């Protein structure tokens, strides 16, 4: 899970938000990432996932990168 503010968010939901916030059409994103439009539509609707290869291409097209989130109050080795 990713953290957006203080609320945990699923990675797939964060990707969907990035697509919606990109200002680009879904069609142009599909073409640039070489993802079938029907697969992408099902992913955006939350009905199906995407392969890692497709997620890699999608991240590159959207200019996304992952960074670890520091959690306050957690100490190494403690649960």
Please, are residues 39 and 46 in contact by the beta-carbon 8 Å criterion?
A: no
Whether 76 is covered by a domain: the verdict is no
Whether 37 is covered by a domain: the verdict is yes
Whether 13 is covered by a domain: the verdict is yes
Domain that holds residue 42: 6-62
Radius of gyration of the chain (CA): 15
pTM beyond 0.85: the answer is no
Whether 72 is covered by a domain: the verdict is no
Query: If you write DSSP's letter for every residue of 20-42 in order, what string do you get?
Result: HHT-S-HHHHHHHHT--HHHHHH
Task: Report the domain count for the chain.
Answer: 1
Whether 75 is covered by a domain: the verdict is no
Q: How confident is the model over 71-78, as a mean pLDDT?
A: 65
Q: What is the CATH number of the domain that holds 29?
A: 1.10.260
Whether 69 is covered by a domain: the verdict is no
What are 39-64's pLDDT values in tens digits? 999 999 999 999 999 999 999 999 99
In the predicted model, is pLDDT for residue 2 greater than 80? no
């Amino acid at each position: 899970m990713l953290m957006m503010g203080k609320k945990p968010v699923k990675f797939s939901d964060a990707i969907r938000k990035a697509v919606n916030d990109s200002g680009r059409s879904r069609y142009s994103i599909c073409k640039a990432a070489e993802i079938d439009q029907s697969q992408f539509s099902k992913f955006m609707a939350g009905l199906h996932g995407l392969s890692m290869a497709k997620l890699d291409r999608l991240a590159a097209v959207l200019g996304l990168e992952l960074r670890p989130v520091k959690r306050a109050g957690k100490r190494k080795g403690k649960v």
